[in-house]
Structure 1
Amino acid sequence: MRRLIWLTVTLMALYGGYWVLGAQAVERGAQAALAAARADGRADAAAVDLAGFPSRFDLTVTEPRLQSRDGLLAWSAPVAQILALSYRPQEVILYAPREQSLRLGRQNFALINEDMRASAAVRIGSDLALDRATAVLAAPRLQPQGDGPALAARELRAALRAGDGPAYDLGVELLDLDLPPEMLADGRLPARIARLHLDAALGLTAPLDRHALARPPMLSTLTLRSATLDWGGMVLSADGTLEITATGQPEGRILLRTSDWQKAMELAVETGLLPPERLPMLLLIGGQMASQSADGALELPLTFRQGQMALGPMPLGPAPYLR
């Protein structure tokens, strides 16, 4: 019995030492990453604390703030936590409060949700490269600060998984997105997008690892395996591949396909994506192209070339910058 007691005490002491050493390593790593990001102007926080003895490493970041180099993208919250079991520190649960702050371009938003569940796993090694991550937001709502229409949905799901090299598989699903009346063109547009689904592969210039804050990876390729929009009974799908040039603009082609192409073109005009004076010509061309399809569906290439984009034969103007 005495030997059993001493063995138990010894094991407890060894485990306690392991937790202390592990906690010190986690806290030093977090402080070093924060210091590097703070010096680069990409992140800041009021405090970083560690707790959870004996079974967990609970890292609490008070008033975390992240932003892009140009300041056009930013995120902040009153608090955030990274929680891990002490015997599986490479797998974490992420916590953020129900109200967070976003800046997209020059507009500030409040991101509100009823429940947020997120997790991530990194590969064991000195760089702590991301292996996979998932997030589910119940009843997310994007509310502009001041006056402005809010966007609300029933659920948002997202998943990211590492592939070979600095490449990642991305899946996103947004259900029952309710559009504000200000965006509905006097009731002529459906008030709800039933489903947005994306299955894509992202090629990056660097992996997502512990160096990412100091050396942010840039998008180099985008492959749409499948993208689907279900809006008011109209289903639009897309697939294709884009290369991102040194200027940040895409080169390549995305093929758009829909059986409800007349409604799709009318929606594009209502939302300002297409000029209304071109609608009759597009309906005529669309009818001729759809007549060549066995099921009457219309396929149109959305092409990006030399900084310009076009939908089928019609120029749309400058291509967006994706970096």
Structure 2
Amino acid sequence: MKRLLIVILVVAALWSGYWVVASSYIRSGIEKWFTARQAEDWQAEYSDFRVTGFPNRFDMLWDDLALADPKTGVALELPRFGFFALSYNPLHMIAVWPQTMRISTPLTSVLISSSDLRASLKLHPRRDLQLKGAQVEAEDLVIEGPATLSLGKLNLAMEQVGDRNTYRLGLLAQEVTPPDSLRGSIASGIALPETLQEARLDATVTFSKPWDLSAIDQARPQPRHIQLDLAKAQWGELGLQVSADLDVDDAGVPTGELNLQARNWQALLKLAMDSRALDPRLGQAVEAALKMLAGLSGNPGTLDVTVSFRDGRSYLGPVPVGPAPILQLR
């Protein structure tokens, strides 16, 4: 009995020592990262940072966290943020966001609120904390900005597959309420309910480099090949389904083909132009080409076309309809 007690005390002392050393290492590494960002003219501030959770967890908690990258103009403000990891498995982390936070870019600023927004992150045991996989879940998500978008549920998954630069992406959004301005901008006669029942995406993307810590403090990995197996959404009488196989060069210009199936495509085209997803200056040319292609199918309201991207241009069949989109992450 005495020997067992001694063993227990020794193990407890060793575990306590491990937790103290590891938590000190975590704190020091994070503080150095913030100091390095400030030296690069970032805004990298917080009112309080602490590591708690002894003895079974490492809880990294920030109050009044503010990050702003001067190169991209992207800024993030969180009144509270936390990373949580089990002390015996610190490479599997849970990130928990506050109920409200603000994200700003050079183009706009949005306020994001959610009753529950969290992510599970699995990392490789590397100094750069390379991402093995991630899953983001949210409930009652509301994005308020120039227009308001809300989602009842969101599930976004990202998993490293094949070589270290390739990730499979999956998205399921349910009970999506688009901005009122989009509903109002679509031509009359189209019956649109308040919400999209769901939207789905399944894709495999090869990036210029793996997602790791440098994606935050240096540059985002850029897509180099996109295999879009399915992107699908149904909104009342509007239906859209897309698949694609694209190579993307260093400038973000795609080459390849995108297959698009759309029901009530005229309203979808108007929606794309009003939301600036498609340059309105190209709208008339695109509409004329689509009318011709839809007419060939015998049903002018339904569209099944292939969009080709080559030499920096977009084509509907042999008809050029404008420049190819630029696919780059800021």
- Check whether the contact 1:31–1:48 (CA below 8 A) recurs between aligned residues: no
Unaligned runs of 5+ in 1: none
Q: Could you tell me how far 1:160 is from its partner in structure 2?
A: 0.7
Q: What TM-score, normalized by structure 1, do the two folds share?
A: 0.86
Matched residue, 2:294: 286
- Check whether the contact 2:289–2:319 (CA below 8 A) recurs between aligned residues: no
Structure 2 distance, partners of 1:123, 1:106, is 34
Please state if 1:235 is matched with 2:239. Answer: yes
- Check whether the contact 2:269–2:287 (CA below 8 A) recurs between aligned residues: no
Matched residue, 2:58: 57
Structure 2 distance, partners of 1:205, 1:56, is 34
Mean Cα displacement is larger for which, 206-215 or 166-175?
A: 206-215
Q: Could you tell me how far 1:65 is from its partner in structure 2?
A: 3.5
Q: Could you tell me how far 1:136 is from its partner in structure 2?
A: 1.0
Q: Could you tell me how far 1:234 is from its partner in structure 2?
A: 3.5
Aligned residues: 313
- Check whether the contact 2:185–2:271 (CA below 8 A) recurs between aligned residues: no
Structure 1 distance, partners of 2:104, 2:68, is 9
Matched residue, 1:177: 176
- Check whether the contact 2:79–2:101 (CA below 8 A) recurs between aligned residues: yes
Q: Could you tell me how far 1:120 is from its partner in structure 2?
A: 0.8
The one-letter code of the counterpart of 2:203 is A
- What SS is found at the alignment partner of 2:212? coil
What's the C-alpha RMSD, in Å, of the aligned pairs?
A: 2.6
Q: Could you tell me how far 1:246 is from its partner in structure 2?
A: 2.2
Question: For residues 122 and 13 of structure 1, do their structure 2 counterparts lie closer, same or farther at Cα, with a shift above 3 Å needed?
Answer: same
- Check whether the contact 1:37–1:213 (CA below 8 A) recurs between aligned residues: no
Question: For residues 285 and 66 of structure 1, do their structure 2 counterparts lie closer, same or farther at Cα, with a shift above 3 Å needed?
Answer: same
Identity in percent: 26
Q: What TM-score, normalized by structure 2, do the two folds share?
A: 0.84
- What SS is found at the alignment partner of 1:125? coil
Aligned ranges 1:268-287 → 2 under 5 Å:
268-272=269-273, 273=278, 275=283, 279=287, 282-287=290-295
Matched residue, 1:166: 165
- Check whether the contact 1:43–1:64 (CA below 8 A) recurs between aligned residues: no
Mean Cα displacement is larger for which, 233-242 or 34-43?
A: 34-43
The one-letter code of the counterpart of 1:210 is L
Unaligned runs of 5+ in 2: none
Question: For residues 278 and 33 of structure 1, do their structure 2 counterparts lie closer, same or farther at Cα, with a shift above 3 Å needed?
Answer: closer
1:242-298 deviation line (CA, Å, top 9, x unaligned)? 22222222222211124x3xx12333135424736864663343131x259xxx974
Question: For residues 128 and 161 of structure 1, do their structure 2 counterparts lie closer, same or farther at Cα, with a shift above 3 Å needed?
Answer: same
Matched residue, 1:196: 199
Structure 1 distance, partners of 2:77, 2:51, is 20
The one-letter code of the counterpart of 1:14 is L
Question: For residues 238 and 211 of structure 1, do their structure 2 counterparts lie closer, same or farther at Cα, with a shift above 3 Å needed?
Answer: same
- Check whether the contact 1:167–1:203 (CA below 8 A) recurs between aligned residues: yes
Please state if 1:143 is matched with 2:144. Answer: yes
Matched residue, 2:92: 91
Matched residue, 2:29: 29
